Structure 1
Amino acid sequence: MSVRSRLHIAMVAPPWFEVPPRAYGGIEAVLNDLVRALTKLGHQVTLIGAGRSGTPARFLATYPKPPSDRLGEAMPEVVHAASANRLLADLDVDVVHDHSLAGPLTAAGRSVPTVVTVHGPAHGEMGEYYRLLGDSVGLVSISTAQRLLAPDLTWAGTVHNAIDVTTFPFKERKEGYTLFLGRFSPDKGAHLAIDAARAAGRRILLAGKLIEPAEHEYFDSHIRPRLGEDAVYVGEADGAAKRRLLADARCLLFPIQWEEPFGMVMIEAMACGTPVVALRRGSVPEVVRPGVTGVVCDRPDELPAAIEAAGSLTPADCRAHVNRHFDAISMARGYEKIYERLAGDRRPTPVAA
């Protein structure tokens, strides 16, 4: 029997959506599964966020209601960080795990280590931000591809995002449509998904976040003119609708136009037995197993043939791949090792595994 340390972990969520999210909220979905998995491993978790929590963790709110309608503004992030910092001052924890943007700025003022998961880009202006934080935080990358773009940062480790696979329905028999699921941003390439599906003679359904002005601008300029009987926007899918769409789809289209550090929708699709057709950017080669769980293309003009090829892949292989590599307990154990290493000097009470 192995012996682990029972840790008290303060988990700081971003302020924009509840945990778990009601609809869009990739970080919040990860946090929900991470909190639940850490609790199963015997750790105490205190979650700091906005609105209400649906996790087993003790919950402390910075906002009574998430300021989702102000997404993209600076002040909600700053107020959230200041409020979280005050709440943290009254907690006796072994480690703080911060998933917010402004929160890490307060890390230098506390005695316990702060782990920061880099959910977005680690290069460019964001890279400079993390660089300036120095050794006040231990950064965790969510893919090797993300880490390689900024190898000089204070990385404490790499932990792939993951899901509770049991919450995703597996379906062997698929319907004929293809699916795009994600933010409506040029980076996500929804326009390429429509073009590829149309060239393959396949109907495509599109679902995802359409809130911020830039998203509406992109949608109106590049998506709306492409819609028709074979390309249908179905709105922003909540958790149940998302799972139905993913389980029934012939394949998920993921034609990203940037170095995406992870891409939760890929593992969500594969958990449903649905293969992924993607462009070779960011973490895609780490997540998709070509010829087994999807097809990885180098150019957009390869996507239509890939859509047809995806139909020959075995749904059970997709599900098994996620169970093996992207299950929430594996993610929690990855973070557990980082917590214990950084909080080692506090020597918490052992607990049998």
Structure 2
Amino acid sequence: MTIVDTPSRVPDEPVPGAAADGRPPLKIAMVAPPWFELPPRGYGGTEAVVAALVDGLVARGHEVKLIAAGEHRTAATSFHRIYDEPPTERLGTPIPEVIAAAEAARAIESADVDVVHDHTLAGPLLARGRTQPTVVTMHGPVTGEPGDYHERLGRTVDLVAISDAQRRLNPRLNWVGTVHNAIDVPSFPYRAEKDDYVLWLGRFSPDKAPDLAIDAARRAGRRIVLAGKLNEPSEFEYFDDVVRPLLGSDAEYVGEADATLKRELLSGARSLVFPIQWEEPFGMVMIEAMACGTPVVALRRGSVPEIVAHGRSGLIVDDFRQFPAALALAEELDPADARAEAERRFDLPVMAEGYERVYRMLAEGTESIRRLSDDVATSAR
């Protein structure tokens, strides 16, 4: 398997005729959003998770039919292309999404699969017409209109949360488990010796609060480097009005980070500044930083307490005024502890095994899966 721009280990060879758990391999249809290729070369958190999950499941001996747009650089057993080129410039418009859903349904109809795992918005609407269970990972909001939509889908789909915090926001949904997102930890370089900056990495939005990150770094007397997605009108407006006036010799914007630059920045940073301003269900950049041995300094919002082991892989603060002191204290944490947490809880095999358990329960058709409770949630502890 060759992954451009994304170093990856070679999966262990599965035992012929059996999956890693010793049982017959599952046949899984994996439906990705149509907006970016897999894995994405730059921004694309959901696509990165889907690509990693495909590789992890194949490494465990399962057959995965990937349905996605553009080229793919995954270990998928087979591939059905929806668009020759991902319609990235039309992100957020309905037609590419519904075309992708229709094409995916056609591909699934002619395929021999045990379970469908759909990561799109429109695709789950077609779950009612198939006999196989349809798993839907809730990568985004679960309240408001997205919550209303998935609540109306009822038990035609089986929802997986990416954090327990996300599940608590809307307990009315048909949750069947929690599986934390994961990354290929060995592909992230570990560095014990850090450079002279802290890092903010994300999408330029008030929810991600890069302006607060700059303020915290200045108060702590630390240089900050910012890298992130900046290509939508709302992002440009926010950047020009709020972020750009704050830049200077101690606050540098370096552009959007591809896979290579992201690893370089994360591994060299003294800490990742994460002043999140919403109940984010899962912040991928946190586990990427941990994999590099870089502690995370974050506000106690959303999934942060589930991801950051306070005093080990980072520091969690309850008030923004605590940020400057926390940035200084984070430099005393052992980078090896952050890396170990990432390996133990957020590596690809952990996520793949979690989804494997969900797939098995659904494919077996047991009634108990419909009443699956938190004590059998699949997130690693």
Whether TM-score is above 0.5 comes out as yes
The SS at the match of 1:35 is: helix
Q: Helix, strand or coil: the match of 1:32? A: helix
Of 123, 126, 129, the residue aligned with 2:146 is 126
1:329 aligns with 2:335: no
- 2: CA distance, partners of 1:2 / 1:281: 36
SS at match of 2:207: helix
CA deviation after TM superposition for structure 1 residue 304, in Å: 0.8
Specify which of 50, 53, 60 is matched with residue 31 of structure 1.
Answer: 50
- Aligned partners of 1:297, 1:2: CA distance in 2, in Å? 40
Measured after TM superposition, the shift of residue 5 of structure 1 is 3.1
Q: Deviations over 1:56-106 (max 9, x none)?
A: 111111111011111122222111111111111111111000011111111
Alignment of 1:305-344 (within 5 A): 305-344=325-364
- Match in the other structure for 1:242: 262
Between the two proteins, the alignment pairs up a number of residues equal to 346
**Which residue identity is paired with 1:52?**
E
Describe how 1:143-154 pairs up with structure 2 within 5 A: 143-154=163-174
* 1:251 has 2:275 as partner: no
The letter of the residue matching 2:121 is: L
Whole-angstrom distance in 1 between the partners of 2:197 and 2:227: 13
Identity %: 61
| RMSD between aligned residues | 1.2
- Residue 153 of structure 1: CA displacement? 0.6
Distance between the aligned counterparts of 2:231 and 2:176, measured in 1? Answer: 34
Q: Report how far residue 299 of structure 1 moved.
A: 1.3
Does the aligned pair in 2 maintain the 1:115–1:140 contact within 8 Å? yes
Secondary structure class of the residue paired with 1:121? coil
Is the 1:71–1:212 contact (alpha carbons within 8 Å) kept by the matching residues of 2?
Answer: no
The answer for the alignment partner of 2:312 in structure 1 is 292
Aligned amino acid, residue 339 of structure 2: R
State whether structure 2 residue 71 is matched by structure 1 residue 52: yes
Corresponding position of 1:268: 288
- Could you tell me how far 1:2 is from its partner in structure 2? 5.5
CA distance in 2, matches of 1:39, 1:20: 15
Corresponding residue of 2:177: 157
Q: Look up the SS of the partner of 2:229 in the other structure.
A: coil
Matched, 1:170 2:190: yes
Residues 53-92 of structure 1 mapped to structure 2, 5 A cutoff: 53-57=72-76, 58-92=78-112
Deviations 1:264-317 (A, max 9, x none): 000000000000010000000000011111111111111111110110000000
Q: Does 1:217 align with 2:231?
A: no
Q: Contact 1:108/1:136 (CA < 8 Å) preserved in 2?
A: yes
Greater relative contact order (Cα 8 A, min sep 6): structure 1 or 2?
A: 1
Matched-pair contact (CA < 8 Å) for 1:11–1:97: yes
* Maintained 8 Å contact 1:5/1:340: no
Matches of 1:343 and 1:38 in 2, distance apart?
16
What is the rounded CA distance, in whole Å, between the counterparts of 2:355 and 2:308 in structure 1? 22
The 3-state SS of whatever aligns with 2:203 is: coil
Q: 1:12 aligns with which of 31, 35, 44?
A: 31
Unpaired runs of 5+ residues, structure 2, are 1-19, 367-381
Counterpart CA distance in 1 for 2:54 and 2:233 is 32
Distance 1:72 1:232 in 2: 30
On the 8 A contact 1:182/1:207 being kept in 2, the answer is yes
Any idea what SS the aligned residue of 2:282 has? coil
Structure-1 residue corresponding to 2:322:
302
Secondary structure at 2:265 match in 1:
helix
1:210 positional shift: 0.9
Segment of structure 1 superposing worse, 57-66 or 258-267: 57-66
TM superposition outliers: structure 1 runs of 4+ over 3 Å? none
**In the alignment, what sits opposite 2:17?**
none
Task: Find the residue that maps to 1:112 and give its secondary structure.
Answer: coil
Name the aligned partner's letter for residue 307 of structure 1: L
Where structure 1 has 5 or more consecutive residues not aligned to the other structure, the ranges are 347-353
Structure 1's 161 and 230: CA in aligned 2 closer, same or farther, altered over 3 A? same
Q: Distance in 2 between matches of 1:212 and 1:78?
A: 22
Residue in 2 that maps onto 1:138: 158
Q: Secondary structure at the match of 2:67?
A: strand
Counterpart CA distance in 1 for 2:80 and 2:332 is 48
| Alpha-carbon distance between aligned partners in 1 of 2:217 and 2:229, rounded to the nearest angstrom | 20
- CA shift, 1:345, in A, is 4.6
Q: For residues 68 and 244 of structure 1, what CA distance do their matches in structure 2 show?
A: 26
- After superposition, give the CA deviation of every residue in 1:241-282 in whole Å (9 maximum; x if it has no partner): 000000000000111000000100000000000000100000
